[in-house]
């Protein structure tokens, strides 16, 4: 008979000790007693039992076992070394956190119930931007402003477009997520659905059957979000699309009705319009109602000129489906269509996590409440990405994941969103950063603003496309740049310069005095800044 004393870490109660004890006693020739109070196990063995067998048995229950005569691992919070971090999810926030955590010396268990990579690469940013670009090419064939280039109706093979799109999606998922995560020796991928048992314990319902309990020093929740559905009678019984189905549909509907007036609704509505469908968009309020009203006033007529029917301030009273047609009742009218896309927002994937067992607080929409350091209401539990109350952009999620990992491994990092750029990939694109006039007023800041029509921007004139505007919002008196809102072709390539200007607390005079390359759209920022002091219509081209 030999005796081995083991130090057991990860236990939080007497039940944990009983669980570890049971696991050890299932081994042949082993008799064990585990004390939660002492954090120790005394193991008696008849014959030779490998230490690794004892450790594996305990690890199966979510704990760690080390010989008692070895030095204990560093205390959690001192550094990343020796930490076990469990991450629920595998999207942008989760992946960024996992990679940074292992850089800091932590061991990571990544738990994923669905497809690796989350929303962006699979059913969000990547496939939607491919579809939008294809639709843009189709529109240029149909209608371009150059006198010497004949316009013609494009021939669209939707199935071929989808096949090409999804091949690129799979390529990027393999390269940027699967290969990166699966090949890292410090990252273990567990396929299954996790829920909390306690503050630092998770129960994973494994994809191939069975369950596994995990205990971790830190836990990151990065479960993302999914399309949410409005409460419209009859809708749930119809074969409606969300963005997920719309992105991979291999046939083009003759008539598509889109419910929603925000980012996803507008992007996909215009894409389908340009690929050849007739499109009716019904918005509860105005287009992009959270943005400066000037965007709705300018973008709406552009979409209508392309052939889209816009119905603002409309919420269907009932939706039915029969004989291959949707029947939408709204404002006393009946609208019929071959397909219906519901793009009315997204809901955090937090139901089913049993957050109440851990004490993690959420808002009334199920979003996890976090601080600037990505900490939840519970010590050692962090959250990042679309499941939180932060803006749902992939670059925000990735940045939050990295900062969460720094915090979980003993560092200190926060996320400043005061100069967060955002882009809506319509054509022309909507791009914003910082405060608009209403937002500044709510904060008690006096402002002055200037709006420059794109007809004053030489690049737009050279393109024969002067649709849109650039608007700068500055602090009254100091002239410090507070925000930029613009509608312009390739506006997403312009907005980052504005974000840098705001982050560096530049004034409109500072911006007006910078060198910008001539015949670029970003030069419009300089020209708009100059309008605070002069009439740019009376300047020569590229006047400094």
Pairing of strands 255-259, 225-227: unpaired
d(C-alpha 261, C-alpha 122), whole Å: 23
Q: Among the options 63, 177, 272, 382, which is catalytic?
A: 63
282 catalytic? Reply is no
- 323 belongs to an annotated ligand binding site: no
Tokens of 72: 């204990």
| Token representation of residue 319 | 């939706």
CA distance linking residue 123 with residue 246, whole number of Å: 10
Which position has the token pair 């010590």?
379
The answer to whether 129 is a known ligand-binding residue is yes
Q: What is the residue whose two structure tokens read 């396929």?
A: 191
Per the annotation, does 265 bind a ligand? yes
| Candidate list 11, 131, 521, 528, residue with the active-site label | 11
CA-to-CA distance for 52 and 339, rounded, in angstroms? 58
The DSSP secondary structure of 461-516, one letter per residue, reads HHTT----EEEEEEETTT-BEEEEEEEETTGGGTHHHHHHHHHTT-BHHHHHTS--
Compute the half-sphere exposure of residue 457: CA atoms within 13 Å on the CB side of its CA.
34
Instruction: Report how far residue 293's alpha carbon sits from residue 298's, in angstroms, rounded to the nearest whole number.
Output: 9
Q: Is 266 annotated as a binding residue?
A: yes
Catalytic one of 120, 282, 506, 521: 120
Per the annotation, does 267 bind a ligand?
A: yes
Asked about 518 being catalytic, the answer comes back as no
Beta bridge partners of 325: 322
Backbone angles phi, psi at 436, to 5 degrees: -90, 180
- Identify the burial level of 279 via C-beta atoms within 10 angstroms of its C-beta, where 0-12 means exposed, 13-18 middle and 19 or more buried: buried
Does 526 appear as a known binding residue? Answer: no
Per DSSP, the residues of 35-90 read ETTTTEEEEEESS---HHHHHHHHHHTT-EEEETTSPPPPPBTTBSTT-EEEEE--
Compute the distance between CA of residue 128 and CA of residue 131 in angstroms, rounded to an integer: 5
Q: Specify whether 151 is catalytic.
A: no
Annotation says 387 is catalytic? no
The question of whether 528 is a catalytic residue gets the answer no
Q: Is 63 a catalytic residue?
A: yes
Rounded-to-integer distance, Cα 139 and Cα 399, Å: 35
Token output for 123: 């059913």
SS3 for 362-385 is ECCCCCECCCCCCECCCCCEEECC
* Tokens (6 digits) for 187: 């990252």
Cis? peptide before 428, omega within 30° of 0: yes
The answer to whether 423 is a known ligand-binding residue is: no
Q: Is 260 annotated as a binding residue?
A: yes
Neighbours of 66 (CB within 10 A): 16
3-state class (DSSP) for residue 538: helix
Which two structure tokens, joined as six digits, stand for 207? 């994809």
Q: Which residues of 340-351 are buried (b: 16+ CB within 10 A; e: fewer)?
A: bbbbbbbbbbbe
* Closest listed residue to residue 276, CA positions, set 312, 314, 308: 308
Closest residue by Cα to residue 448 from 482, 476, 484, 480: 476
| Residue positions forming the annotated binding site | 129, 260-267, 345, 386
Catalytic sites, residue numbers = 11, 13, 16, 63, 120, 125, 541-542
| Residue positions forming the annotated binding site for FAD | 129, 386
| Residue positions forming the annotated binding site for NAD(+) | 260-267, 345
């Amino acid at each position: 008979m030999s005796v081995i004393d083991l130090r057991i870490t990860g236990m939080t109660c007497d039940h944990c000790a009983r669980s570890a004890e049971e696991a050890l006693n299932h081994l042949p020739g082993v008799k064990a007693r585990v004390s939660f109070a002492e954090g120790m196990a005394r193991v008696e063995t008849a014959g030779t039992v490998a230490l690794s067998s004892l450790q594996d048995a305990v690890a199966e229950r979510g704990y760690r076992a080390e010989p008692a005569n070895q030095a204990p691992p560093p205390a959690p919070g001192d550094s990343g070394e020796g930490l076990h971090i469990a991450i629920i999810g595998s999207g942008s926030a989760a992946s960024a956190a996992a990679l940074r955590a292992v850089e800091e010396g932590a061991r990571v268990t990544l738990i994923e119930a669905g497809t690796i990579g989350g929303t962006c690469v699979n059913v969000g940013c990547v496939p939607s931007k491919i579809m939008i670009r294809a639709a843009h090419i189709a529109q240029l064939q149909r209608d371009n402003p150059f006198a010497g280039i004949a316009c013609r109706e494009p021939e669209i093979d939707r199935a071929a477009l989808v096949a090409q799109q999804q091949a690129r999606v799979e390529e990027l998922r393999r390269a940027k997520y699967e290969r990166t995560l699966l090949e890292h020796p410090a990252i273990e991928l567990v396929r299954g659905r996790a829920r909390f048992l306690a503050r630092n314990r998770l129960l994973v319902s494994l994809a191939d059957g069975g369950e596994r309990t995990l205990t971790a020093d830190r836990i990151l929740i990065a479960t993302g979000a999914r399309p949410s559905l409005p409460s419209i009678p009859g809708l749930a019984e119809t074969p409606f699309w969300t963005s997920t189905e719309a992105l991979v549909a291999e046939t083009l509907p003759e008539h598509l009705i889109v419910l929603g007036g925000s980012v996803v609704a507008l992007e996909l509505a215009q894409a389908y319009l340009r690929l050849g469908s007739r499109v009716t968009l019904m918005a509860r309020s105005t287009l992009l109602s959270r943005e400066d009203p000037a965007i709705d006033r300018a973008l709406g007529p552009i979409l209508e000129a392309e052939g889209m029917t816009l119905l603002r301030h409309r919420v269907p009273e009932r939706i039915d489906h029969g004989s291959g047609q949707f029947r939408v009742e709204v404002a006393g009218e009946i609208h019929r269509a071959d397909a219906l896309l519901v793009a009315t927002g997204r809901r955090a994937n937090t139901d089913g996590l049993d957050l109440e067992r851990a004490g993690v607080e959420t808002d009334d929409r199920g979003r996890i409440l976090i601080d600037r350091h990505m900490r939840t209401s519970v010590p050692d539990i962090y959250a990042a990405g679309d499941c939180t109350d932060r803006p749902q952009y992939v670059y925000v999620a990735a940045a939050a994941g990295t900062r969460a990992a720094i915090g979980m491994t003993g560092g200190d990092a926060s996320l400043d969103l005061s100069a967060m750029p955002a882009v809506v990939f319509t054509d022309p694109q909507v791009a914003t950063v910082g405060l608009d006039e209403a937002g500044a007023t709510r904060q008690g800041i006096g402002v002055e603003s200037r709006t420059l029509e794109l007809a004053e921007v030489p690049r737009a004139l050279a393109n024969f496309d002067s649709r849109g505007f650039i608007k700068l919002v500055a602090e009254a008196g100091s002239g410090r740049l507070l925000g930029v809102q613009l509608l312009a072709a390739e506006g997403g390539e312009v907005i980052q310069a504005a974000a840098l200007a705001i982050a560096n607390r530049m004034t409109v005079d500072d911006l007006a005095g910078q060198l910008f390359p001539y015949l670029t759209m970003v030069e419009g920022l300089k020209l708009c800044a100059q309008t605070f002091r002069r009439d740019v219509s009376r300047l020569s081209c590229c006047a400094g």
